[in-house]
Structure 1
Protein backbone atom coordinates (compact mmCIF):
# COMPACT_ATOMS: atom_id res chain seq x y z
CA UNK A 1 0.00 0.00 0.00
CA UNK A 2 2.76 2.42 0.83
CA UNK A 3 6.20 3.07 -0.56
CA UNK A 4 8.79 1.83 1.94
CA UNK A 5 12.39 2.76 2.39
CA UNK A 6 14.76 0.88 4.66
CA UNK A 7 18.21 2.01 5.68
CA UNK A 8 20.93 0.47 7.80
CA UNK A 9 21.78 2.05 11.14
CA UNK A 10 24.23 0.92 13.83
CA UNK A 11 22.88 -1.92 15.97
CA UNK A 12 21.98 -0.66 19.43
CA UNK A 13 20.12 -1.70 22.57
CA UNK A 14 18.72 -5.20 22.64
CA UNK A 15 20.15 -5.96 19.21
CA UNK A 16 23.68 -5.26 20.40
CA UNK A 17 23.14 -7.43 23.46
CA UNK A 18 21.72 -10.25 21.36
CA UNK A 19 24.72 -10.15 19.03
CA UNK A 20 27.11 -10.20 21.97
CA UNK A 21 25.43 -13.18 23.65
CA UNK A 22 24.70 -15.11 20.49
CA UNK A 23 20.93 -15.02 21.04
CA UNK A 24 19.16 -15.69 17.74
CA UNK A 25 15.45 -15.64 18.59
CA UNK A 26 13.80 -12.22 18.26
CA UNK A 27 11.70 -11.65 21.38
CA UNK A 28 8.62 -9.70 20.26
CA UNK A 29 6.09 -7.85 22.42
CA UNK A 30 2.69 -6.96 20.92
CA UNK A 31 0.56 -3.96 21.98
CA UNK A 32 -2.81 -3.52 20.28
CA UNK A 33 -6.28 -2.80 21.64
CA UNK A 34 -7.99 -5.41 19.43
CA UNK A 35 -7.87 -8.98 20.74
CA UNK A 36 -8.39 -10.43 17.27
CA UNK A 37 -5.41 -8.46 15.96
CA UNK A 38 -3.27 -9.60 18.87
CA UNK A 39 -4.29 -13.20 18.28
CA UNK A 40 -3.52 -12.96 14.56
CA UNK A 41 -0.13 -11.35 15.14
CA UNK A 42 0.77 -13.94 17.74
CA UNK A 43 -0.14 -16.76 15.36
CA UNK A 44 1.91 -15.11 12.60
CA UNK A 45 5.00 -14.64 14.75
CA UNK A 46 4.76 -18.08 16.31
CA UNK A 47 4.69 -19.50 12.78
CA UNK A 48 8.17 -18.03 12.33
CA UNK A 49 9.68 -19.93 15.29
CA UNK A 50 12.47 -20.33 16.21
CA UNK A 51 13.47 -17.08 14.47
CA UNK A 52 11.06 -15.04 16.59
CA UNK A 53 8.61 -15.53 19.44
CA UNK A 54 6.02 -13.51 21.37
CA UNK A 55 7.08 -12.78 24.94
CA UNK A 56 4.13 -10.61 25.97
CA UNK A 57 0.99 -8.75 24.88
CA UNK A 58 -0.94 -5.69 26.06
CA UNK A 59 -4.34 -4.24 25.21
CA UNK A 60 -3.88 -0.85 26.88
CA UNK A 61 -1.18 1.69 27.56
CA UNK A 62 -1.27 0.88 31.28
CA UNK A 63 -0.78 -2.84 30.61
CA UNK A 64 2.08 -2.09 28.25
CA UNK A 65 4.18 0.12 30.50
CA UNK A 66 3.71 -2.18 33.52
CA UNK A 67 4.34 -5.50 31.79
CA UNK A 68 7.38 -7.40 33.19
CA UNK A 69 8.22 -8.90 29.77
CA UNK A 70 9.31 -5.50 28.45
CA UNK A 71 12.69 -5.96 30.10
CA UNK A 72 13.43 -8.97 27.87
CA UNK A 73 11.87 -7.60 24.68
CA UNK A 74 13.94 -7.20 21.52
CA UNK A 75 11.21 -5.55 19.46
CA UNK A 76 7.88 -3.92 20.38
CA UNK A 77 5.10 -3.94 17.78
CA UNK A 78 2.90 -1.03 18.84
CA UNK A 79 -0.45 0.27 17.62
CA UNK A 80 -0.79 4.07 17.61
CA UNK A 81 -4.29 3.80 19.12
CA UNK A 82 -4.45 1.87 22.40
CA UNK A 83 -8.06 1.91 23.54
CA UNK A 84 -8.41 5.58 22.66
CA UNK A 85 -4.98 6.59 23.98
CA UNK A 86 -2.06 7.64 21.81
CA UNK A 87 0.44 4.79 21.86
CA UNK A 88 3.27 7.25 21.30
CA UNK A 89 2.75 8.70 24.76
CA UNK A 90 3.97 5.39 26.19
CA UNK A 91 7.24 5.36 24.27
CA UNK A 92 9.26 7.31 26.84
CA UNK A 93 8.20 4.93 29.63
CA UNK A 94 8.72 1.90 27.41
CA UNK A 95 12.21 2.93 26.36
CA UNK A 96 13.30 3.29 29.98
CA UNK A 97 12.49 -0.38 30.57
CA UNK A 98 13.04 -1.89 27.13
CA UNK A 99 16.24 -1.69 25.09
CA UNK A 100 14.57 -3.13 22.01
CA UNK A 101 13.40 -1.21 18.95
CA UNK A 102 9.80 -0.12 18.28
CA UNK A 103 7.85 -0.91 15.11
CA UNK A 104 4.53 0.94 14.75
CA UNK A 105 1.75 -1.18 13.20
CA UNK A 106 -1.24 1.02 12.51
CA UNK A 107 -4.35 1.55 10.40
CA UNK A 108 -3.78 5.32 10.62
CA UNK A 109 -2.77 6.72 7.21
CA UNK A 110 -1.83 10.20 8.44
CA UNK A 111 1.86 10.65 7.64
CA UNK A 112 2.07 13.42 10.26
CA UNK A 113 1.20 10.85 12.94
CA UNK A 114 3.81 8.47 11.54
CA UNK A 115 6.43 11.24 11.63
CA UNK A 116 5.53 12.04 15.23
CA UNK A 117 6.03 8.40 16.20
CA UNK A 118 9.48 8.41 14.61
CA UNK A 119 10.41 11.60 16.42
CA UNK A 120 9.36 9.91 19.67
CA UNK A 121 11.73 7.00 19.01
CA UNK A 122 10.02 4.47 16.75
CA UNK A 123 12.32 2.81 14.20
CA UNK A 124 9.60 1.78 11.78
CA UNK A 125 6.01 2.45 10.72
CA UNK A 126 3.96 -0.23 8.97
CA UNK A 127 0.36 -0.09 7.81
CA UNK A 128 -1.99 -2.87 8.89
CA UNK A 129 -3.02 -3.48 5.28
CA UNK A 130 0.44 -4.92 4.52
CA UNK A 131 0.87 -8.64 3.93
CA UNK A 132 1.93 -11.12 6.60
CA UNK A 133 5.27 -11.58 4.86
CA UNK A 134 5.84 -7.83 4.94
CA UNK A 135 5.12 -7.70 8.67
CA UNK A 136 7.67 -10.44 9.35
CA UNK A 137 10.23 -8.77 7.10
CA UNK A 138 9.73 -5.42 8.82
CA UNK A 139 10.25 -7.07 12.23
CA UNK A 140 13.51 -8.61 11.01
CA UNK A 141 14.79 -5.38 9.46
CA UNK A 142 13.98 -3.15 12.43
CA UNK A 143 15.48 -5.70 14.82
CA UNK A 144 18.66 -5.71 12.72
CA UNK A 145 19.00 -1.96 13.18
CA UNK A 146 17.37 -0.72 9.98
CA UNK A 147 14.51 1.72 9.66
CA UNK A 148 11.24 0.87 7.93
CA UNK A 149 9.53 4.07 6.89
CA UNK A 150 7.43 5.71 4.23
CA UNK A 151 9.67 7.56 1.78
CA UNK A 152 7.91 10.86 2.52
CA UNK A 153 8.92 10.62 6.20
CA UNK A 154 12.52 9.78 5.33
CA UNK A 155 12.75 12.73 2.94
CA UNK A 156 11.35 15.13 5.53
CA UNK A 157 13.63 13.87 8.31
CA UNK A 158 16.68 14.14 6.06
CA UNK A 159 15.59 17.65 5.16
CA UNK A 160 15.49 18.57 8.85
CA UNK A 161 18.93 17.09 9.44
CA UNK A 162 20.46 18.99 6.52
CA UNK A 163 18.56 22.19 7.20
CA UNK A 164 16.50 21.75 4.05
CA UNK A 165 12.81 21.14 4.34
CA UNK A 166 11.27 18.67 1.92
CA UNK A 167 7.83 20.10 2.60
CA UNK A 168 6.31 22.08 -0.26
CA UNK A 169 6.55 25.88 0.08
CA UNK A 170 3.48 27.53 1.55
CA UNK A 171 0.86 28.60 -0.95
CA UNK A 172 1.24 32.27 -1.89
CA UNK A 173 -1.28 34.71 -0.47
CA UNK A 174 -4.07 35.23 -3.04
CA UNK A 175 -4.03 39.00 -2.51
CA UNK A 176 -0.27 39.09 -3.12
CA UNK A 177 -0.84 37.27 -6.40
CA UNK A 178 -3.58 39.69 -7.38
CA UNK A 179 -1.39 42.71 -6.67
CA UNK A 180 1.52 41.18 -8.59
CA UNK A 181 -0.73 40.84 -11.64
CA UNK A 182 -1.07 44.64 -11.94
CA UNK A 183 1.04 46.40 -14.53
CA UNK A 184 3.12 49.45 -13.47
CA UNK A 185 0.61 51.71 -15.19
CA UNK A 186 -2.32 50.07 -13.38
CA UNK A 187 -0.55 50.51 -10.03
CA UNK A 188 -0.03 54.18 -10.85
CA UNK A 189 -3.74 54.53 -11.60
CA UNK A 190 -4.65 52.90 -8.27
CA UNK A 191 -2.38 55.32 -6.37
CA UNK A 192 -3.87 58.32 -8.17
CA UNK A 193 -7.43 57.16 -7.53
CA UNK A 194 -6.73 56.84 -3.80
CA UNK A 195 -5.05 60.25 -3.66
CA UNK A 196 -7.96 61.84 -5.49
CA UNK A 197 -10.65 60.05 -3.54
CA UNK A 198 -13.92 61.95 -3.86
CA UNK A 199 -12.91 63.61 -7.12
CA UNK A 200 -14.80 62.90 -10.33
CA UNK A 201 -13.40 60.28 -12.68
CA UNK A 202 -12.77 62.89 -15.37
CA UNK A 203 -10.48 64.81 -13.00
CA UNK A 204 -8.55 61.66 -12.23
CA UNK A 205 -8.23 60.91 -15.95
CA UNK A 206 -6.89 64.43 -16.60
CA UNK A 207 -4.33 64.05 -13.80
CA UNK A 208 -3.13 60.81 -15.38
CA UNK A 209 -3.07 62.24 -18.91
CA UNK A 210 -5.74 59.80 -20.05
CA UNK A 211 -9.13 60.07 -21.63
CA UNK A 212 -12.03 59.13 -19.41
CA UNK A 213 -12.81 56.22 -21.76
CA UNK A 214 -9.24 54.87 -21.46
CA UNK A 215 -9.36 55.23 -17.68
CA UNK A 216 -12.60 53.22 -17.57
CA UNK A 217 -10.94 50.43 -19.57
CA UNK A 218 -8.02 50.40 -17.13
CA UNK A 219 -10.39 50.32 -14.16
CA UNK A 220 -12.29 47.36 -15.63
CA UNK A 221 -9.01 45.40 -15.79
CA UNK A 222 -7.93 46.54 -12.29
CA UNK A 223 -11.25 45.60 -10.69
CA UNK A 224 -11.09 42.18 -12.32
CA UNK A 225 -7.50 41.50 -11.23
CA UNK A 226 -8.04 42.61 -7.63
CA UNK A 227 -11.51 41.09 -7.23
CA UNK A 228 -13.14 44.38 -6.21
CA UNK A 229 -16.28 46.15 -7.36
CA UNK A 230 -16.08 49.90 -7.82
CA UNK A 231 -13.89 52.70 -6.54
CA UNK A 232 -14.93 52.35 -2.90
CA UNK A 233 -13.81 48.71 -2.66
CA UNK A 234 -10.67 49.56 -4.61
CA UNK A 235 -9.85 52.35 -2.15
CA UNK A 236 -10.30 49.99 0.82
CA UNK A 237 -8.21 47.25 -0.81
CA UNK A 238 -5.42 49.66 -1.77
CA UNK A 239 -5.29 51.18 1.69
CA UNK A 240 -5.24 47.80 3.41
CA UNK A 241 -2.48 46.40 1.18
CA UNK A 242 -0.27 49.45 0.87
CA UNK A 243 -1.10 50.32 -2.75
CA UNK A 244 -1.84 53.94 -1.89
CA UNK A 245 1.80 55.06 -1.79
Structure 2
Protein backbone atom coordinates (compact mmCIF):
# COMPACT_ATOMS: atom_id res chain seq x y z
CA UNK A 1 0.00 0.00 0.00
CA UNK A 2 1.42 3.43 -0.93
CA UNK A 3 2.49 5.59 1.98
CA UNK A 4 1.28 9.11 2.64
CA UNK A 5 3.59 12.01 1.79
CA UNK A 6 5.72 13.59 4.50
CA UNK A 7 4.39 16.38 6.70
CA UNK A 8 5.78 18.97 4.30
CA UNK A 9 3.93 17.31 1.42
CA UNK A 10 7.17 16.42 -0.31
CA UNK A 11 8.53 12.90 -0.81
CA UNK A 12 11.59 11.77 1.10
CA UNK A 13 14.35 11.47 -1.48
CA UNK A 14 16.30 8.24 -1.03
CA UNK A 15 19.66 7.28 -2.51
CA UNK A 16 20.48 3.57 -2.39
CA UNK A 17 24.06 2.32 -2.05
CA UNK A 18 24.19 -1.40 -2.80
CA UNK A 19 26.61 -3.40 -4.94
CA UNK A 20 24.47 -6.57 -4.93
CA UNK A 21 22.34 -6.33 -8.12
CA UNK A 22 19.42 -8.51 -7.00
CA UNK A 23 19.23 -6.86 -3.58
CA UNK A 24 19.49 -3.39 -5.12
CA UNK A 25 16.67 -4.18 -7.57
CA UNK A 26 14.46 -5.50 -4.78
CA UNK A 27 15.03 -2.49 -2.54
CA UNK A 28 14.41 -0.12 -5.43
CA UNK A 29 11.12 -1.87 -6.21
CA UNK A 30 10.10 -1.73 -2.57
CA UNK A 31 10.84 1.98 -2.31
CA UNK A 32 8.85 2.49 -5.51
CA UNK A 33 5.77 0.96 -3.89
CA UNK A 34 5.95 3.59 -1.16
CA UNK A 35 5.34 6.55 -3.46
CA UNK A 36 4.46 9.36 -3.01
CA UNK A 37 6.03 9.29 0.48
CA UNK A 38 9.38 7.99 -0.82
CA UNK A 39 11.21 8.80 -4.02
CA UNK A 40 14.27 6.88 -5.20
CA UNK A 41 16.70 9.42 -6.62
CA UNK A 42 19.28 6.84 -7.63
CA UNK A 43 20.92 3.48 -6.99
CA UNK A 44 24.71 3.23 -6.97
CA UNK A 45 27.22 0.53 -6.14
CA UNK A 46 29.98 2.46 -4.37
CA UNK A 47 30.46 5.32 -1.93
CA UNK A 48 32.45 7.23 -4.56
CA UNK A 49 29.47 7.04 -6.93
CA UNK A 50 27.18 8.08 -4.10
CA UNK A 51 29.23 11.19 -3.38
CA UNK A 52 29.08 12.18 -7.04
CA UNK A 53 25.32 11.60 -7.07
CA UNK A 54 24.80 13.65 -3.92
CA UNK A 55 26.72 16.57 -5.38
CA UNK A 56 24.52 16.57 -8.46
CA UNK A 57 21.14 15.46 -7.17
CA UNK A 58 21.14 15.42 -3.38
CA UNK A 59 19.06 13.15 -1.15
CA UNK A 60 17.31 13.25 2.20
CA UNK A 61 18.27 9.73 3.25
CA UNK A 62 21.03 7.43 2.05
CA UNK A 63 20.14 3.74 2.39
CA UNK A 64 23.50 2.03 2.90
CA UNK A 65 23.64 -1.75 2.37
CA UNK A 66 26.32 -3.39 4.52
CA UNK A 67 26.04 -6.88 3.03
CA UNK A 68 28.20 -6.16 0.00
CA UNK A 69 31.70 -4.78 -0.40
CA UNK A 70 31.00 -1.34 1.09
CA UNK A 71 32.39 -1.33 4.66
CA UNK A 72 31.06 0.55 7.65
CA UNK A 73 34.16 2.71 7.73
CA UNK A 74 33.20 4.42 4.47
CA UNK A 75 29.98 5.86 5.92
CA UNK A 76 32.05 8.74 7.25
CA UNK A 77 33.07 9.66 3.70
CA UNK A 78 29.44 10.51 2.90
CA UNK A 79 29.04 12.99 5.73
CA UNK A 80 31.14 16.06 4.75
CA UNK A 81 28.74 18.50 3.09
CA UNK A 82 25.80 16.08 3.31
CA UNK A 83 22.88 17.42 5.36
CA UNK A 84 20.73 14.32 5.07
CA UNK A 85 20.68 11.10 7.08
CA UNK A 86 22.21 7.66 6.62
CA UNK A 87 20.27 4.48 7.37
CA UNK A 88 22.34 1.29 7.26
CA UNK A 89 20.67 -1.99 6.31
CA UNK A 90 22.00 -5.50 6.80
CA UNK A 91 21.01 -9.15 7.08
CA UNK A 92 23.37 -9.59 10.05
CA UNK A 93 21.87 -10.30 13.45
CA UNK A 94 25.01 -9.30 15.37
CA UNK A 95 23.62 -7.06 18.11
CA UNK A 96 26.57 -4.68 18.19
CA UNK A 97 26.43 -3.94 14.46
CA UNK A 98 23.92 -1.15 15.15
CA UNK A 99 26.38 0.37 17.62
CA UNK A 100 29.17 0.27 15.05
CA UNK A 101 26.93 1.77 12.35
CA UNK A 102 25.89 4.73 14.52
CA UNK A 103 29.42 5.35 15.76
CA UNK A 104 30.56 5.31 12.13
CA UNK A 105 28.08 8.08 11.33
CA UNK A 106 24.80 6.34 10.45
CA UNK A 107 21.48 7.28 12.04
CA UNK A 108 20.48 3.70 12.62
CA UNK A 109 20.46 0.14 11.33
CA UNK A 110 17.55 -1.80 9.85
CA UNK A 111 17.76 -5.59 9.80
CA UNK A 112 16.53 -7.18 6.57
CA UNK A 113 14.57 -9.74 8.57
CA UNK A 114 12.19 -6.98 9.71
CA UNK A 115 8.70 -6.75 8.15
CA UNK A 116 8.63 -4.94 4.81
CA UNK A 117 6.71 -1.96 6.18
CA UNK A 118 9.56 -1.24 8.59
CA UNK A 119 11.73 0.08 5.74
CA UNK A 120 9.50 3.08 5.05
CA UNK A 121 8.99 3.66 8.78
CA UNK A 122 12.74 3.59 9.50
CA UNK A 123 13.46 5.99 6.62
CA UNK A 124 10.77 8.39 7.85
CA UNK A 125 12.07 8.25 11.44
CA UNK A 126 15.71 8.97 10.59
CA UNK A 127 14.64 11.70 8.17
CA UNK A 128 12.81 13.28 11.11
CA UNK A 129 15.96 13.30 13.23
CA UNK A 130 15.47 10.11 15.23
CA UNK A 131 17.85 7.17 15.57
CA UNK A 132 16.66 3.76 14.41
CA UNK A 133 18.23 1.62 17.15
CA UNK A 134 16.76 -0.25 20.08
CA UNK A 135 17.07 0.81 23.72
CA UNK A 136 19.93 -1.55 24.56
CA UNK A 137 21.94 -0.36 21.56
CA UNK A 138 21.36 3.24 22.66
CA UNK A 139 22.77 2.47 26.11
CA UNK A 140 25.82 0.73 24.64
CA UNK A 141 26.47 3.61 22.24
CA UNK A 142 26.27 6.23 24.99
CA UNK A 143 28.61 4.19 27.19
CA UNK A 144 31.10 3.86 24.33
CA UNK A 145 31.02 7.62 23.71
CA UNK A 146 31.46 8.32 27.43
CA UNK A 147 34.48 6.01 27.63
CA UNK A 148 35.97 7.60 24.54
CA UNK A 149 35.58 11.10 25.99
CA UNK A 150 37.08 9.97 29.27
CA UNK A 151 40.16 8.68 27.46
CA UNK A 152 40.51 11.95 25.55
CA UNK A 153 39.91 14.21 28.57
CA UNK A 154 41.80 13.41 31.82
CA UNK A 155 39.53 15.74 33.83
CA UNK A 156 36.44 14.00 32.46
CA UNK A 157 38.01 10.65 33.33
CA UNK A 158 38.53 11.80 36.92
CA UNK A 159 34.93 13.02 37.20
CA UNK A 160 33.75 9.67 35.84
CA UNK A 161 35.27 7.99 38.92
CA UNK A 162 32.92 9.84 41.27
CA UNK A 163 29.73 8.29 42.57
CA UNK A 164 26.44 10.11 42.05
CA UNK A 165 26.45 11.38 45.66
CA UNK A 166 30.03 12.59 45.27
CA UNK A 167 29.13 14.46 42.08
CA UNK A 168 26.19 16.05 43.89
CA UNK A 169 28.52 17.18 46.66
CA UNK A 170 30.89 18.76 44.14
CA UNK A 171 27.96 20.47 42.40
CA UNK A 172 26.71 21.89 45.71
CA UNK A 173 30.15 23.26 46.54
CA UNK A 174 30.50 24.88 43.11
CA UNK A 175 27.03 26.42 43.39
CA UNK A 176 27.69 27.79 46.88
CA UNK A 177 31.40 27.79 47.77
CA UNK A 178 30.75 29.63 51.05
CA UNK A 179 28.34 26.99 52.35
CA UNK A 180 29.42 25.19 55.49
CA UNK A 181 29.87 21.44 55.68
CA UNK A 182 26.69 21.29 57.75
CA UNK A 183 24.74 23.25 55.11
CA UNK A 184 25.89 21.03 52.26
CA UNK A 185 25.18 17.87 54.28
CA UNK A 186 21.67 19.10 55.03
CA UNK A 187 20.99 19.90 51.37
CA UNK A 188 22.17 16.43 50.36
CA UNK A 189 20.15 14.87 53.18
CA UNK A 190 23.19 13.11 54.63
CA UNK A 191 25.17 13.40 57.86
CA UNK A 192 28.25 15.60 58.22
CA UNK A 193 30.45 12.56 58.85
CA UNK A 194 29.18 10.98 55.65
CA UNK A 195 29.89 14.19 53.75
CA UNK A 196 33.42 14.35 55.17
CA UNK A 197 33.95 10.77 54.02
CA UNK A 198 32.67 11.77 50.57
CA UNK A 199 35.07 14.72 50.46
CA UNK A 200 38.03 12.54 51.42
CA UNK A 201 37.14 10.17 48.58
CA UNK A 202 36.56 13.06 46.16
CA UNK A 203 39.93 14.66 46.95
CA UNK A 204 41.70 11.37 46.24
CA UNK A 205 39.84 10.71 43.00
CA UNK A 206 40.27 14.24 41.61
CA UNK A 207 43.80 14.79 42.87
CA UNK A 208 43.00 17.89 44.96
CA UNK A 209 43.72 18.51 48.64
CA UNK A 210 41.35 21.27 49.76
CA UNK A 211 37.90 22.73 49.25
CA UNK A 212 39.46 25.59 47.31
CA UNK A 213 41.13 23.11 44.98
CA UNK A 214 37.89 21.15 44.71
CA UNK A 215 35.94 24.30 43.86
CA UNK A 216 38.48 25.25 41.19
CA UNK A 217 38.37 21.78 39.63
CA UNK A 218 34.58 21.59 39.74
CA UNK A 219 34.05 25.10 38.36
CA UNK A 220 36.35 24.39 35.42
CA UNK A 221 35.35 20.83 34.58
CA UNK A 222 31.91 19.98 36.00
CA UNK A 223 29.34 19.94 33.14
CA UNK A 224 27.03 22.94 33.47
CA UNK A 225 23.96 20.73 33.36
CA UNK A 226 25.03 18.88 36.49
CA UNK A 227 24.78 22.01 38.57
CA UNK A 228 21.03 21.43 38.43
CA UNK A 229 21.15 17.69 39.23
CA UNK A 230 18.26 16.39 41.30
CA UNK A 231 19.17 14.93 44.66
TM-score by length of 2: 0.55
* Larger Rg computed on CA atoms: 1
CA contact 1:27–1:55 (8 Å) conserved in 2: yes
Counterparts of residues 208-227 of structure 1 (less than 5 Å)? none
CA contact 2:19–2:44 (8 Å) conserved in 1: yes
- Return the match for 1:32 from 18, 35, 41: 18
State the Cα distance separating 1:23 from its structure 2 match. 5.8
State the Cα distance separating 1:158 from its structure 2 match. 3.2
SS at match of 1:148: coil
SS at match of 1:115: helix
CA contact 1:75–1:100 (8 Å) conserved in 2: yes
| 1:56 matched to 2:42 | yes
State the Cα distance separating 1:71 from its structure 2 match. 5.1
- Return the match for 1:139 from 123, 140, 144: 123
- 155 and 35 in structure 1: CA distance in 2 versus 1, 3 angstrom threshold: same
- Taking CA–CA contacts closer than 8 Å with sequence separation of 6 or more, which of the two structures ends up with the larger relative contact order? 1
Alpha-carbon distance between aligned partners in 1 of 2:73 and 2:146, rounded to the nearest angstrom = 27
State the Cα distance separating 1:70 from its structure 2 match. 6.8
Alpha-carbon distance between aligned partners in 1 of 2:17 and 2:50, rounded to the nearest angstrom = 7
List, as ranges, runs of 4+ consecutive aligned residues in structure 1 with deviation greater than 3 Å: 68-71, 158-163
State the Cα distance separating 1:69 from its structure 2 match. 6.0
SS at match of 1:154: helix
| 1:118 matched to 2:102 | yes
CA contact 1:27–1:74 (8 Å) conserved in 2: yes
Structure 2: segments with no counterpart, 5+ residues: 1-5, 148-231
Bigger strand fraction: 1
Give the structure 2 partner of residue 79 of structure 1: 65
SS at match of 2:80: helix
Give the structure 2 partner of residue 102 of structure 1: 86
- 101 and 70 in structure 1: CA distance in 2 versus 1, 3 angstrom threshold: farther
TM-score by length of 1: 0.52
| 1:159 matched to 2:143 | yes
